[in-house]
Structure 1
Amino acid sequence: MLNEFKVLSEAEGSCAGIERRGGKSPVLVICEHASRTLPEAFGDLGLSKDALESHIAWDPGALAVARGISSALDATLVYQRFSRLIYDCNRPPEAPGAMPEKSEIYAIPGNQGLTSEQRQARTEALYIPFHNAVRELIAERKARGQESVVVTIHSFTPVFNGKPRAVELGILHDADSRLADKMLTAAADAPLYKTERNEPYGPADGVTHTLILHGVSNGFRNVMIEVRNDLINDDAGQGVMADYLTGLLQQCLEG
């Protein structure tokens, strides 16, 4: 690294991308794993090109689906502009997975043996401002009397540790299952995808951090959506999934 405590340069800008800041929908779309871009200071973290393009660096297709939903609903979207390999914004600073030393089959040399100062620098550059940006959006919405419904968008691999995954769409929740329950019922009534509750991950895996931070803690309806990434690996698949999820959300928010 050029400077072990410098995470982002001024030229790289904010870690949080925001679209449709004044969107009229109650839905607030969040995409924490939107990008595989590494800050320049970190080089390639000692990883191969294949690794840096794989699911360990980002959630392929998730941002495109999130943008499709945002556009269709006129919903505000906030997304992380840098790879979760530097900091996974769906994990608190104390979690091992926040700055993983290993992800699936890949050891991550640039994340090995980080000092407390290096970890803090990443936290202050990526985690804190990203979630502060979400908080600011929520405060703005509250000030103008706008409801907030927190919807996070993710994707997952068809095969994990050599085992195929049959589930195509996961509807995840933590303590508050109000929206998830409705979406699961609606999905069962129109079963376009094999849809499961809290699959392929769930609260026990630590994946509901953002939901708790911005949804559960505020009493807002909230849901995390996981899409199998082979279904959204091109424009057509992304469009179909965005349309389907938009319809599902509209139905369940109005019902």
Structure 2
Amino acid sequence: MAYQPWQDIEGADPSILIIADHASAFIPDDINLGIEAALYDEHVALDKGIQSLGIKLCQTLDCRGIFAMQSRLIVDLNREENDILGMIPAVSDGYVIPGNTGLKAEERQQRLERFYYPYHQHIAEKIKIQRPKLIISLHSFTPCLRSNMDCYRPWHVGLLYNNDDRATQIAIPLFKKTSLKIGENEPYSGRILNATMNRHAEANNIPYLVLEIRQDTIKNEQEIENWRVLLEDIIKETIKKLA
């Protein structure tokens, strides 16, 4: 099967669309980043656990999903177009990425035309054809940054937003009924970094949830299943209260 830069999951319920910008660490054969193989299993290359969780949620909610199928080190799809350094990082959390160092303007543009623009165009077309009532943006985060080992991130899950917090303010009290530690605009603020949802949710006045799950709580199939059960209930309750 030919490589595709995203994976579509179809479902019978059009009201929910799940998006995962960093679901895979895949690197096409014609791109050499010059990094050790072990780095492809680190948070700088992908959002660990999110592809499996997202697929399970699509199945149990019978909803649509769009999952990016290449590493964020090639192009970080959750960046604004003018964020040149963040989009194709030469250094990520202290790791030097030789294949992204010293790229010419035309080489950067080729990456965008191959990965970034088609991905966002595809999402836009899906939304135009069948507008969801709620978009779920799935991410995971490392509990401790290599570049700042003194900074421990205690939240089990963070809910991010920029200007539109309709769904977030419904979901936060539901999360707080659990024993989890909840972060609002943590481990970073959606007012600073919210590119995919700014473009496809806020610009279309569609409520959304950006969920950042701490990676050491989503390491294996049992933990992924625990999150699936919890998120299924919260997503269903959130969309019901949005109606």
Task: Indicate the TM-score class for this superposition, using the shorter chain for normalisation.
Answer: over 0.9
Which one of the candidate residues 63, 85, 89 is aligned to 1:75? Answer: 63
Are 1:16 and 1:129, in contact at CA under 8 Å, matched by a contact in 2?
no
Alpha-carbon distance in 1 for matches of 2:185, 2:195: 14
Q: Does structure 2 conserve the Cα–Cα contact (< 8 Å) formed by 1:36 and 1:83?
A: yes
Counterpart of 1:196 in structure 2 is 183
Task: Give the whole-Å Cα distance in 2 for the aligned partners of 1:199 and 1:249.
Answer: 19
Within 5 Å, give how 1:92-241 maps onto structure 2.
Answer: 92-95=80-83, 96-142=85-131, 147-160=132-145, 161-162=148-149, 163-188=151-176, 190-206=177-193, 208-241=194-227
Unpaired runs of at least 5, structure 2: none
Distance in 2 (CA, whole Å) between partners of 1:158 and 1:184 is: 20
1:12 positional shift: 4.3
CA distance in 2, matches of 1:156, 1:23: 30
Shift of 1:60: 0.4
Aligned equivalents of 2:171, 2:134: Cα separation in 1? 14
Q: TM-score, normalised by structure 2?
A: 0.93
Per-residue CA deviations over 1:116-154 (Å, capped at 9, x if unaligned) read 111110001101111111111112214xxxx33111000
**Displacement after TM superposition at 1:65 (Å):** 1.3
Letter in 1 for 2:152: P
By how many angstroms is 1:25 displaced?
A: 4.1
Q: Give the alignment's Cα RMSD to 1 decimal.
A: 1.3
Counterpart Cα distance in 2 of 1:205 and 1:101: 20
Partner of 2:48: 60
Distance 1:52 1:187 in 2: 31
Q: Give the letter for the 1:159 counterpart.
A: C
Partner AA of 1:74 in structure 2: D
Taking the aligned partners of 1:98 and 1:218, their CA distance within structure 2 comes to 23
Question: TM-score under structure 1 normalisation?
Answer: 0.89
Deviation at 1:196, TM superposition (A): 1.2
Rate the CA distance shift 1:54–1:245 in 2: closer, same or farther, 3 A: same
Q: For residues 120 and 4 of structure 2, what CA distance do their matches in structure 1 show?
A: 12
Deviation at 1:204, TM superposition (A): 4.4
Task: Give 1:158's aligned amino acid.
Answer: P
Report the CA distance shift for 1:244/1:125 in structure 2 as closer, same or farther (over 3 A): same
What SS does structure 1 have at the residue aligned with 2:209? strand
Equivalent residues of 2:163, 2:191 under 8 A apart: no
1:192 Cα deviation from its structure 2 partner: 3.1
| Cα contact 1:141–1:148 (8 A) shared by 2 | no
Q: CA separation in 2, counterparts of 1:56 and 1:116? A: 23
- Distance in 2 (CA, whole Å) between partners of 1:117 and 1:12 is 25
Partner amino acid, structure 1, of 2:118: P
How many aligned positions are there? 237
Aligned to 1:40, what secondary structure does the other structure show? coil
Instruction: Measure the CA separation in 2 of the matches of 1:53 and 1:185.
Output: 33
* Aligned equivalent of 1:14, options 4, 7, 10: 4
SS in 2 for 1:29: strand
Stretches of 4+ aligned residues off by more than 6 angstroms: none
CA distance in structure 2 between the partners assigned to 1:242 and 1:126 by the alignment:
29
